[in-house]
Amino acid sequence: MIIHDLDFAEMYREHMRCSDRPEKPASVWDERARSAGAKMMQGDYAKAFLARMDLSGAATLLDIGCGPGTIGVPLAGRLEAVYGLDYSPGMLECLTDNARAAGADNVTPILRSWTDDWEGVPVCDIAVASRSSLVPDMADALHKMTSHARLRCYMTHLVGGHFGDAAIAELLGRQVRAFPDYVYIVNILHGMGIHPRVDYLTFPGRLAGTRDAQEFIDKVAWSFGELNADEQARLAEWYGADPERARRGGGDICWALISWEPAGTLAT
């Protein structure tokens, strides 16, 4: 739904300031790259994202918040050049390793964040931001992304604003405020004269398939931030009482796949 005469850019910034999102410095993603880089390259999410992309007329791709190359590396064989932008050196190292393993010599890493100066970042035919859009200033991010794409942009953003399960939040005694919803993005783009297309990708949540109590605790900590000893003990007890319930915890996660053309052509 498009709502006129509201400053969605400022509303988003304020919402993000008030959210309970734990800060994740590059070092956290460096560690995740070492432990889960290969796993992040696989799965139904990447297949669904790639299946919805239109590569017609495109030769170059800018993958923003590229991680280990989940989107960019599979496309390298169909394009002349892929640029992976991330603020985690560990993720860029993983990107390079995965590109080498795929036989792709046209993947270039760029150490940069959403909030850095993007001078020198190449303008490409397509820009993607896959699960990397929880930024402090969405309007700035959308302007950067749009100005670095000639043909099309693709961004996935969380629907509903929650990664964690409400029952686990209650168990931990935490009131976790939802992150800004994808509707902000639709309205900010509308204010830029762009009419995006929106699709939805739904998959099992982060806790699905958890193998043991420690992995369960680690996954909860990723969503909720640092856990003290008492919280970890409560989670271990909760997991032990019914491991299957714990593995189902969190439910499904839905992503809005938002796509648009930089020129603002109405999506059909």
Q: Tens of pLDDT along 146-177?
A: 999 999 999 999 998 776 666 787 788 776 67
Whether 201 contacts 255, CB under 8 Å: yes
Q: Across the chain, what does the average pLDDT equal?
A: 87
Per-residue pLDDT at 224? 77
- Between 163 and 254, the more confident residue is 254
The pLDDT of residue 221 is above 70: yes
The pLDDT of residue 205 is above 80: no
The pLDDT of residue 268 is above 60: no
Per-residue pLDDT at 178? 80
Residues 6+ apart with CB under 8 A from 163: 179, 205, 206, 223, 250, 253
Q: What letters, b where the CB count within 10 A reaches 16 and e where it falls short, cover 172-209?
A: beeebeebbbbbbbbbbbbbbebbbebeebeeebbbee
The pLDDT of residue 267 is above 70: no
The pLDDT of residue 55 is above 90: yes
The distance of Cα 131 from the centroid of its chain, to the nearest Å, equals 1
Q: Which residue do the tokens 């969380």 mark?
A: 158
Lowest mean pLDDT among 88-92, 188-192, 223-227, 254-258: 223-227
Lowest mean pLDDT among 149-153, 232-236, 258-262: 232-236
Q: Tens of pLDDT along 73-85?
A: 999 999 999 999 9
The pLDDT of residue 266 is above 50: no
Per-residue pLDDT at 226? 83
Per-residue pLDDT at 250? 59
Evaluate the CA torsion angle 110, 115, 118, 123 in order and state its sign. positive
Q: Tens of pLDDT along 14-24?
A: 999 888 666 67
The pLDDT of residue 1 is above 70: no
Residue 137 CB coordination number (10 Å): 16
Cα angle 48, 54, 60 (rounded to 5 degrees) comes to: 110
- Between 98 and 243, the more confident residue is 98
- Give the residue from 137, 135, 180, 133 showing the smallest Cα distance to 155: 133
Lowest mean pLDDT among 102-106, 133-137, 193-197, 245-249: 245-249
The pLDDT of residue 225 is above 70: yes
Whether 143 contacts 192, CB under 8 Å: yes
Residues 6+ apart with CB under 8 A from 128: 53, 61, 62, 63, 64, 71, 72, 153, 154, 155
**What is the model's pTM?**
0.83
Per-residue pLDDT at 265? 47
The pLDDT of residue 208 is above 80: no
